A = this chain, B = another copy of it.
Amino acid sequence: MSKHSGTLYSEMFDSKRAAPELRTFSECADQVRSSSVDIGPSLIEGRLLQRLRRSIGHLPIRLVLGRREELSPPPDTEAIATVSISDRRTLGKLLLSPEIAFGDGYTDGRIAVEGDLVQLIENFIRLTRAKPEGWWRKIVTGWLQRVQANTLTGSARNIHHHYDLTTDFYRLWLDSRLVYTCGYFPSPSASLEQAQLAKMDYVCRKLQLQPGESVVEAGCGWGALALHMAKNYGVKVKAFNISREQVLVAGELATKEGLSSQVEFIEDDYRNISGQYDVFASVGMLEHVGLENYRDLGQVIHRAIGDSGRGLLHFIGRNRPGTFSPWIRKRIFPGAYTPALREMLDLLEPWNFSVLDVENLRFHYEKTLEHWLTRFEASTDEITKMFGPEFVRAWRLYLAGSIAAFRVGTLQLFQVTFAGPSCRQIPWTRAHLCTEQAPAREELEWTHAMS
């Protein structure tokens, strides 16, 4: 009995010992169930593991429960990682809600991963994405939607949770300009610095900013894009953000760069945007707005730029509507939701805005996140001093999981350029995106005569 209870699975998959007909996990688990030998507590564990095995597909991992190795991949398959689960209770939670239990267990140390975390998650997503969503995930998602609703106060609380961590923390692993959104890598070998600069320029070019124009930005982070627009394109920018920490830092940067007369950073919700502008821009904010507020945001955009303005939305999206990772919502980004293009159109359709251009930069976000994770890992000692080891593990998991999601395609990154029905600032082709330097207005051809 003790022989079975301790090393049952590993023995079964030991190529020298295992009967050839018992090579798969489910066969192995069936063997446990049908065994007439009384194997005590490990019978329950066996059943739990069998169910876990089912819920994670054919994931080639080595699974350790307590100090006992409980499941190994078939002998001809190399394990991509060893996942150690400290106790049976954690195992039970994994069955009920794999994503949240894994996230929480990994964070507090009850689950440890030896091996490539990104590859582990990537494989997990690939093997399980076709499965219908579990009832528990639906309940948790519904509950999170209620408690994290993006009302004015709810949004403030949600944004504060993530973005008001000290800027010194973000300085450790973002680029020097503190751009916390997907970069644009002209080549995969470009540096993170180059990619973030290129992204900001790409956005300005897509918007065809002209000197003297006015821009309103919703969700401006530490202000890098607003400052870039003002400095390099001669526009005036009003940038809204409800993260106090970010707005403070952004304001200091504007003063330092002598751009205070051109750029105004305002600590306020996008719903309170007032005034008239030529251009609306929002990079990496739509994910925090919440589906239920898209029509309101559309109205805000129309109020700001009217029928003749133009705009750009840059956001993490999906191929089709679906629920956002409940663990990321619970621990990292409260109130977040990544929309399908169909859902985003709720913003544009009521105002007869025309979609001019959509570009999918999914692989650029995978690359951006790889840079961030590498830099994050290089700073874990400092981050541990700042927030403790649990924080480090949670954020490692968030960054690694995001890489995996973009790599697999669970997440996409859309840049959508749009214009109002009377907009006269529409370039004839995409020639303005092709040159090394941003071309002057006169160098381009336009759909409407120059005004």
Which chain B residue shows the least CB distance to A422?
B409
What is the bound-complex CA distance between A345 and B355, given in angstroms? 14
Does B357 lie within 8 Å of A360, measured CB to CB?
yes
Report the Cα distance A117→B344, complex, angstroms.
37
A185 to B445, CA, bound (A): 11
A360 to B356, CA, bound (A): 5
B354 touches A430 (CB 8 A): no
- Report how many residues on chain A are interfacial, defined by Cβ distance under 8 Å: 37
A409: chain B residues at CB < 8 Å are 352, 354, 421
B428 and A187 contacting across the interface, CB-CB below 8 Å: yes
Q: Which residues of B contact A348 (CB under 8 A)?
A: 319
How many angstroms between the C-alpha atoms of A354 and B356 in the bound complex? 18
Inter-chain contact A352/B434, CB cutoff 8 Å:
no
- Give the residues in chain B near A354, CB-CB below 8 Å: 319, 360, 362, 409, 412
A349 surroundings in chain B (CB, below 8 A): 319-321, 340, 342
Identify which of residues 396-451 in chain A touch chain B, using a CB-to-CB cut-off of 8 Å: 409, 412, 414, 421, 426, 428-430, 433-434, 445, 447
Copies per assembly: 2
CB nearest to A427 among chain B residues: B363
A188 contacts partner chain B, Cβ-Cβ < 8 Å: yes
Question: A343 to chain B: closest CB distance in Å?
Answer: 9
Judged by a CB distance under 8 angstroms, whether A358 is at the interface is: yes
A186 at the interface (CB under 8 A from B): yes
Complex contacts, A430 vs chain B, CB 8 Å: 359, 430, 433-434
Residues of B within 8 A of A383 (CB): none
8 Å CB contact of A363 from B320, B414, B428, B433: B428
Cα distance, A42 to B222, chains bound together (Å): 71
CB of A353 within 8 Å of the partner chain: yes
**Residue numbers in B under 8 Å from A414 (CB-CB):** 355
A341 at the interface (CB under 8 A from B): yes
Residue in A319, A362, A421, A445 whose Cβ sees the most chain B Cβ within 10 Å: A319
Interface bits A120-155 vs B (CB < 8 Å: 1, else 0):
000000000000000000000000000000000000
Query: Given A341-B345, A358-B357, A362-B354 in contact, is the A188-B445 Cβ separation under 8 Å?
Result: yes
Residues of B within 8 A of A429 (CB): 185-186
Among candidates B342, B355, B362, residue contacting A360 with C-beta atoms closer than 8 Å:
B355
CB-CB under 8 A from A319, the residues of chain B are 348-349, 352-355, 421
Which chain B residues lie closer than 8 Å to A359 at the CB level? 356-357, 430
Cα distance A362–B357 in the bound complex, in angstroms: 12
Decide if B187 touches A445 in the complex (CB within 8 Å): yes
User: Is the Cβ of B188 less than 8 Å from the Cβ of A428?
Assistant: yes
- What's the nearest-Cβ distance from chain B to residue A405, in Å? 13
What residues on B are CB-neighbors of A185 within 8 Å? 428-429
Contact of A355 among B186, B187, B341, B356 (CB under 8 A): B341
The 20 sampled A-B contact pairs (Cβ below 8 Å) are A185-B428, A185-B429, A188-B428, A188-B445, A319-B348, A319-B349, A320-B345, A320-B349, A320-B350, A320-B352, A340-B345, A342-B342, A342-B345, A342-B349, A352-B409, A354-B412, A359-B430, A363-B447, A430-B434, A433-B434
Apart from A319-B352, A355-B358, what are 4 other A-B pairs with CB-CB below 8 Å?
A320-B352, A341-B355, A356-B359, A363-B426
